[in-house]
Amino acid sequence: MPPIFNAIGLAAADMATTLAFYRKLGLDIPAEADKEPHAEVRMLGGLRLMWDSHESLKSIHPGWTPSRDPGGSLAFECADSAEVDAVYAEMVRAGYDGHREPWDAEWGQRYALLRDPDGNEVDLYAWLPTG
């Protein structure tokens, strides 16, 4: 049996700040996780999104240092274009980094880019009506 992909892990410089960002996007993360070296939430379909403090990662991986340019991105699907615009605006008003304002992308989605407190790209999108 091959290994089963079931989690994405991210580094968090300040767990409480990072988790506040993802709570604002609607993830149900318990408040007590703010003080832990590791936090995770199970997503629909069973995939887990996990965060580890820098200290925790250093204990697991001696010599680990935070990346200056985190790779990849996390994408959150919105119901429609208006929701992309509203969520983006709400996150920016809350003080989070609006990396690129919403636009109608050539591949048929309303798209916007945020950055979480650790510099990870977080995409918001909705499929544009066809026809």
Which tens digit of pLDDT belongs to each residue from 72-98? Answer: 789 999 999 999 999 999 999 999 999
Let me know if residue 66 belongs to a domain: no
Tokens of residue 26, six digits: 């609607």
In this prediction, residue 70 has a pLDDT band, given cuts at 50, 70 and 90, of low
Let me know if residue 65 belongs to a domain: no
CATH of the domain at 35: 3.10.180.10
> Which structural domain, as residue segments, surrounds residue 116?
73-127
Check pLDDT > 80 for residue 122: yes
- Contacts of residues 66-74 at CB distance under 8 Å and 24 or more positions apart, as own/partner, are 66/11, 66/13, 66/118, 67/11, 69/119, 70/10, 70/11, 70/118, 70/119, 70/120, 70/121, 72/120, 72/121, 73/113, 73/120, 73/121, 73/122, 73/123, 74/8, 74/49, 74/120, 74/121, 74/122, 74/123
How many structural domains does the chain have? 2
